[in-house]
Structure formats: C-alpha cells, structure tokens
Amino acid sequence: MTDEITLVQFPRKLGVPNPSPFCVKLELWLKLAGIPYTVEVQTMPGKAPKKKIPYIIENGREIGDSTLIIEHLSKTRGIDLDAGLSPRERALDQAVWAMCDERLYWYCVHDRWLGAGWPVIRDTFFGGIPSLVRPIITSIIQRSVRKQLWNQGAGRHTPDEILAMAKRDIAALADIVGDGPYVHGERIRSIDTVVYAFAVNMTEVKLDTPFTEAARAHANLVAYARRITEKYFPELG
Ligand SMILES: N[C@@H](CCC(=O)N[C@@H](CS)C(=O)NCC(=O)O)C(=O)O
C-alpha cells in the first residue's frame, strides 16, 4: 500500500480551488490530514464510481463521495481532525455538514444552472463546444438539472423562495463562523473543510448574483474564506 492517492476532480475554474464545493472540501481535508495526493482532472461524472465527482484512486481502487472518502481515510490512516471535541460539538458539526451538502448545495446549483449565474457558467464550461450545437447541449443539461432540483425538492419553490431559504442558511453559516479564525476557534477542524468549501464558492467565486451577494454581505464569512484560501491555497492569491 502506498501513502499517496489520486484525487480526481473538476478543473480549477472561476477563481476558487474548485467550482465544486465537494472537491474543495476533500482537497482541503487531504491537506489538513497531511495525506500526499496528485490531482487528476476529470470533467465527466459518468466515469466516476458513483457517477459524481470527486473520487479518489487508492492503490488502484476507486472510491466515491467526499464524505465517505474522508471517513475511509480517517479510519484506515488513523486520522482525527476533531480530537478533543465533545460528542455534542461533533453532533452539531454533523448537522452543519448536512445543511451544506444536502441543502445549501442545491440553492447553489439553482443559482448557477438556472438562475443569474447561468450565463457565466455556460460560457465558462461550455464555451468550447461548437456554437451550432452549444444551445442544444446546454438546454439538455439545464433540463437534467431542473429535474434533479425538482426531485430534491428545492426546484418546487419560486426563485424568491429559494433565495430566502439560501439567505437563512448563509446567515447561519456566518453565525457559526463568528469571529473565527475557525469554526471551533483557533484550531482548524474537519467542519471547516465543508464550511470553507461553500463559503469560498459563494464569496470568492467569480460570479455576481443575488446568491453570492447575500454571502458577501457577511463580512466575517468573506474574511474566513480569504483566511483559508491564503493559508491553504496560496497559489490563488
Ligand atoms: N455526495 C457527493 C456529491 C458530489 C456531487 O454532487 N458532485 C457533483 C458536482 S458538484 C457532480 O458530480 N454532479 C454530476 C451529476 O450529478 O451528474 C460528494 O460528497 O462527493
């Protein structure tokens, strides 16, 4: 068994470590855990073991899902970034983790694929497709995202309702971060990988929408994302 793993993720775009918060979460976690990794870029989720990106390759074995990967690596390599936290603190972190991954994520998806972020997303990700077929391909993709949002539930609400819900989650994140420097104070913990992944994808991402504006209204969330980018992704400036 070798220590090093391959992190398979989307290419870096939009001025953030990754436009996918799940990729940012996992990459920051690997850095904090001190696990050496090389990045392989993949744009086709269909090639991933769970048909979603990111995934890792460890000794030839593909493992999908950022949270399951973190659990797997924590267990097999004896890593606990949360040592010393109480069961209640860990439980609350679990709730925040779920809020980000399973709720806030979908508001972000709505903003980017069906909302005000779409023109930039379309040009950034699909600008290379020949212009004759581009509208056909992008409308197929939008239709699939609309279906996912409907099935998840967020897609049944109006854009205003979605934004209002997003604003409540964003305000909760800002309150959780507080004065920082990290969620639990001086020491960065596993929950920071998730909170940062979303914070950076709302405050530093090169998108100007009511959703990103709502996040940028929280100066402490902006400062938190900046702090972590500067320390762990200094190449982003
Ligand atoms: N629960 C997964 C979620 C990953 C995920 O949703 N990835 C998105 C990109 S942000 C994806 O690959 N979507 C492709 C698709 O749904 O077809 C994780 O934590 O890794």
Asked if residue 52 has its Cβ within 6 Å of ligand 1, the reply is: yes
Q: Tell me the CA–centroid distance for residue 129 and ligand 1, in Å.
A: 22
pLDDT > 90? residue 2: no
Domain encompassing residue 144: 85-237
Residues 6+ apart with CB under 8 A from 121: 112, 113, 207
How many domains, the chain? Answer: 2
In angstroms, what is the span from residue 56 Cα to ligand 1's centroid? 13
Whether 92 and 107 share a structural domain: yes
Digit-coded pLDDT (tens) for 137-171: 999 999 999 999 999 999 999 999 999 999 999 99
pLDDT, mean of residues 189-201: 98
pLDDT value at position 178?
Answer: 98
The answer on 178 and 218 residing in a single domain is: yes
Q: Are residues 142 and 217 in the same domain?
A: yes
One domain, residues 94 and 65:
no
* Atom nearest to 48 CA in ligand 1: 12
3-state secondary structure of 142: helix
Q: Residue 114 is encoded by which pair of tokens?
A: 């069906």
What is the mean predicted confidence (pLDDT) over 94-120? 98
Asked if 230 and 144 sit in the same domain, the reply is yes
Mean pLDDT (whole number) for 57-62: 97
Own/partner long-range contacts of 115-119 (Cβ < 8 Å, ≥24 apart): 115/159, 115/209, 115/210, 115/211, 116/208, 116/209, 116/210, 116/211, 117/207, 117/209, 117/211, 117/212, 118/142
27 lines ligand 1 (CB under 6 A): no
Percentage of the chain modeled with pLDDT above 90? 98
Q: Closest Cα to atom 14, ligand 1: which residue?
A: 52
Residues 68 and 128 grouped into a single domain: no
Domain-ending residue, one of 50, 79, 108: 79
Longest dimension (CA), the chain: 58
Exposure b/e, 156-191, CB count within 10 A at least 16 = b: eeeeeebbebbbebbeebbebbeebbbbbeeebbbb
Report the pLDDT value the prediction gives residue 3, as an integer from 0 to 100.
Answer: 84
Res 194 pLDDT > 90: yes
Counting ligand 1 atoms within 8 A of each CB, the residue from 7, 52, 151 with the most, and so the one to mutate, is 52
Question: Percent of the chain, pLDDT > 70?
Answer: 99
Q: Are residues 206 and 99 in the same domain?
A: yes
Give the CATH number of the domain where residue 65 resides.
3.40.30.10
**205 in the same domain as 116:** yes
pLDDT (mean) for 192-208: 98
Distance of alpha carbon 201 from alpha carbon 108, whole angstroms = 9
Cβ count within 10 A of residue 64: 17
Verify that 108 and 207 share a domain, yes or no: yes
Res 237: pLDDT: 86
Q: Which CATH number belongs to the domain containing residue 144 in this structure?
A: 1.20.1050.10
Q: Are residues 113 and 181 in the same domain?
A: yes
Q: Looking at the structure, do residues 62 and 18 belong to the same domain, yes or no? A: yes
CB of 16 within 8 A of CB of 200?
yes
Contact (CB, 8 A) for 183 and 195: yes
* Distance of CA 86 from the midpoint of ligand 1 (Å): 30
Report the predicted TM-score, pTM, of the whole model to 2 decimal places.
0.97
Atom 6 of ligand 1: nearest residue by CA position: 52
Secondary structure percentages of the chain, helix, strand, coil, to 5: 60, 10, 30
Residues 53 and 118 in one domain: no
pLDDT in tens, 8-51: 999 999 999 999 999 999 999 999 999 999 999 999 999 999 99
Domain boundary among 12, 47, 79: 79
Domain stops at, among 45, 63, 79: 79
For the Cβ of 22 lying below 6 angstroms from any atom of ligand 1, the answer is: yes
Calculate how far, in angstroms, residue 23's C-alpha sits from the geometric centre of ligand 1.
Answer: 9
In this predicted structure, the answer to whether residue 75 has a pLDDT above a threshold of 70 is: yes
The pLDDT confidence band at residue 1, using thresholds 50, 70 and 90, is low
Cα 84 to ligand 1 centre (Å): 31
CA of 179 to the centre of ligand 1 (A): 31
